[in-house]
Amino acid sequence: MISPHGHVQPHLLAEDAVFKDPAGLLISPDHYVTRLLHATGVGLHDLGVGHQSLSEDEARRAWRLLCEHWQVFAGTPVRLWFEAELVEIFGVTLRPSAQTADTIFDQVVGCLGQNAYKPRALYDRFKIEVLTTTFDPCDDLSVYDVLANDPTWAGRAIPAFRPDRYLELARPDWPKLVEQLGEAAGADTGDYQGFLAALEQRRRYFVDHGATSTDHSHLDARTDPLERPEAARIYRAALASEASSDEAVAFRRHMMLEMARMSCEDGLVMTLHPGIRRNHHQPTEATLGPDTGCDIPVRAEFTEALRPLLERYGTAAGFHLVVFTVDETVWSRELAPMAGFYPSVYVGAPWWFLDAPDAIRRFRSAVTETAGFFKTSGFVDDTRAFCSIPVRHDMSRRLDAGMLAGLVAEHRLSEEEAAEVAGALVTEQPKRVFKL
């Protein structure tokens, strides 16, 4: 299992402590689960969202809320994943309901106390080969040193570089953020040149800790260049909290080009995850913080947006640009045509709201005829829920296999070739695309 993009914390593996309770493991950190319960009238707080940890009573109550509302997940991938996790990892064969909630809770609790359910044991059981986790440029990555220097740990965990916050000059906390960036990098971020140097330095730090990719998620994907003096001027204005919001956006779009330039230089694969209106419901963010399920996609545009970047770096040797979307209309219209021409461009696997069986089928249907299989990224689980990693990959493999079987059945591919493609999509393709 190769996981080139996700959010499971490596500290889990470094500490290798027992998981505390079923709700904290399987419910609270997974906005796929909490989102739809909230939509049904269950309070996010009651599911443990925003808590540091749950008491046993709170955990049991959150678990019961899930089980009582089991029907709302019918037809969703959460249902598939949760069921597979219960059956395959915890041996639970009861269907969740108000009646069975406590029994299942107790059975999972019973498992969690065992050594076989500690993070490293699960890592091995899941047969994970690489586990990637997104980190902030200022983050201390010494956890990776701990893992690398631990003779009892044979896995591979690596960070990905995610500088979003430092590129959004309109954030009220931005001056403070770049100050911290300067400190982390040992560079003076008092001007634009120092800012670039600090980013380059932190990218090297990530590379030194195993990173092979960067991760960028802004509202749009535009990559419009600024003249260097203009970029420097806006940077200075933003430090003085005097940049307009238009200038802030212009600077961020320009910085995408700089990120691509740095990727050409240091070899980090550049991945884009744009097109999300974060914290659509601000009262929820104000109460519970970000990543609570109220991020909503917006329409995406890539053809014009990426043109300046691809004009410069689209055919650069070794440059890889993996583009993810939650707007599926761009698959056949924009991403497959671009990946079908530019050597650097790969279409990212179906992401977030689209990483479910029907959406994955639509993805292969929309992309393959123009870009084939080998200009796609291979599966990316992108999860915060450690135990969902195996079933997510399993689902993806079954769907790709099913799609390939369809091509064979229609005499569009030989069975032998289909088997080769199916295998390549699981291992060689993500390794090649993400330089693992």
Site for a second copy in 284-313 (CB under 8 A): 284, 293-299, 301, 303-304, 307, 310-311
Binding flag, residue 417, a second copy (CB under 8 A): yes
216: helix, coil or strand? strand
Query: Would you say 123 and 131 are in contact if contact means Cβ atoms under 8 Å apart?
Result: yes
Any idea which residue has 């915060």 for tokens?
384
Bridge partners of residue 158, in order along the sequence: 132
Instruction: State the Cα torsion 17-20-22-26 to the nearest 10°.
Output: -60
The binder of a second copy chosen from 11, 61, 233, 333 (CB under 8 A): 333
Tokens for 407?
């091509």
* Among the listed residues 4, 10, 77, 210, the single contact to a second copy using CB under 8 A: 77
Instruction: CB nearer to a second copy: give 107 or 376.
Output: 376
Stretch that binds a second copy, among 1-9, 148-156, 232-240, 330-338 (CB under 8 A): 330-338
Least Cβ distance, residue 268 to a second copy (angstroms)? 20
Give how many residues touch a second copy by CB under 8 A.
Answer: 80
Residues 6+ apart with CB under 8 A from 93: 86, 87
- Indicate which single residue of 18, 53, 56, 71 sits in contact with a second copy (rule: CB under 8 A): 71
CB of 202 to a second copy, least distance (A): 31
CA 301 to chain centre: 20
Q: How far is the CB of 93 from a second copy (least distance, A)?
A: 13
Closest CA to 199 of 226, 235, 233: 235
Residue 110 or 318: which CB sits closer to a second copy? 318
Structural tokens at position 364: 């292969």
Span 80-139, contacts to a second copy by CB under 8 A: 80, 95
**Structure token pair of residue 353:** 């709201």
Looking at the Cβ atoms of 232 and 408, the one nearer to a second copy is 408
Q: Is 328 in the site for a second copy (CB under 8 A)?
A: yes
> Under a CB-based contact definition with an 8 Å cutoff, are residues 189 and 411 in contact?
no
What residues pair up with 208 in beta bridges, in sequence order? none
Q: Give the phi and the psi of residue 288 in degrees, each rounded to 5.
A: -120, -5
Subset of 249-288 contacting a second copy (CB under 8 A): 277, 280-284
x/- map, 379-408, a second copy, by CB under 8 A = ----------------------------x-
